[in-house]
Amino acid sequence: MLVSSVLREIESNPKVSKNLLIIRLNGLLQTDDKIAIQEITRQLQLDNVVGDKVFGSFAENLAFLLEALKRGSDTAQSVLFILEEFDLFAHHKNQTLLYNLFDICQSAQTPIAVIGVTRRLDVVELLEKRVKSRFSHRHIHVFNSLAFPAYKEVCKRVLTLPAEVGDAKFVKRWNQDIEALCSNATVHDVLKKTYQLDKSICRLQSLLLLPICKVTEDHPAIEAVDLVESSKHLGADSKAAMLHGISVLQLALVIAMKHLTDLYEGDPFNFEMLYNEYLKFVQRKAHVVQSFEKPVVLKAFEHLVSLEIVKPVDGHGSRTQKEYRAMSLLVTSAQLMDVLNTYPGCPSELKHWASNPLPS
């Protein structure tokens, strides 16, 4: 919105509008550099110039396009690249597109500028060293400063239908329902909670999307319960959801990790320590809990590592034997207890063990 309003303002100057070419790319659409260069060619209207030419590299292709713009005049036209979902371009192989654009920005050959638009604040950390060194490191952070009453008003405005939509009777009834909905105490609480977590309009629209999708002939109006459900869906704990999909053995290992973490006051543990803790539990409850061989337990543990429920303290590049690598648990006690209470068919012995560590 900010970029668009600034462009509207500067393009009102005839000198700018005649000499500025704007290229818009989106990380969701241009998923690799080949698609990106085709889109750049299309927007520069140079398809006929490129023809069937074969280029040795991306840099050569881009340089040819920019050189083609100079033909017929001594001065090159200014080109503004706007990269929406900028963070997704950082996932392209070798970040070739970003490297070449930033490199041309630094050289005085062609007047180009690059504006990246993203929701990620840590986007610079995704850039390779050679790309980062060519980046100007100029950021504009755009945070809205809406107070809660104004935020609530935006919600009402987003849901209200304009009079010219069609059926005047339906529009009137719908808008009355929205008025009543926005003054509902439950809706007020849901909006307040969402506002406190993230006051962006994007988050608000995500909250309203599910209730709007549920509107049908049988369910013609949005109700407070729809917003409550949507809020729960948006705020779902991804780690807890993941734990619901693991086996009972893996759940037992997570409980063992929790006890080791508590016992050593947050210090790391390794698989051997974990296996000993698991054996202690199985030996005490042999009549109710199935025992597994060590290789099976190790395989279950490796799956937990791949799910990032547990992670190596020294990163993934360590050469330490996997049974002895220092690990730390990424699940809190509260998350684990919530999962145990709702895990389908969870053995009561596991729940008891989670609350009561075994004596040494």
How many Cβ atoms from other residues are within 10 Å of residue 25's Cβ? Answer: 22
Mean pLDDT of the chain: 87
Residue 124 in contact with residue 135, Cβ under 8 Å? Answer: yes
Residue with tokens 């977590």: 197
For residue 112, the cross-strand partners are 79
Query: Where does residue 36 rank: exposed (0-12), middle (13-18), buried (19+ CB within 10 A)?
Result: buried
CA angle 85, 90, 92 (to 5 degrees): 105
Residue 254 in contact with residue 304, Cβ under 8 Å? Answer: yes
Task: Report the C-alpha gap between 346 and 248 in whole angstroms.
Answer: 7
**Regions of the chain where pLDDT drops below 70:** 51, 69-76, 108, 286-288, 315-318, 360
Cα 59 to Cα 95, 102, 201, 334: the distances in Å are 12, 11, 38, 52
Task: Report the C-alpha gap between 218 and 11 in whole angstroms.
Answer: 49
pLDDT of residue 75: 62
Report the half-sphere exposure of 303 (CA within 13 A, side-chain side): 16
Residues 6+ apart with CB under 8 A from 160: 175, 178
Which of 146, 145, 176, 151 lies closest to 161 in space, CA to CA? 176
Q: What is the pTM of this model?
A: 0.58
Give per-residue pLDDT as tens, 248-281: 999 999 999 999 998 888 889 999 999 999 999 9
Task: Report the C-alpha gap between 128 and 93 in whole angstroms.
Answer: 11
Residue with tokens 């054996």: 279
Give per-residue pLDDT as tens, 23-72: 999 999 999 988 998 898 889 888 777 767 777 777 788 878 877 765 54
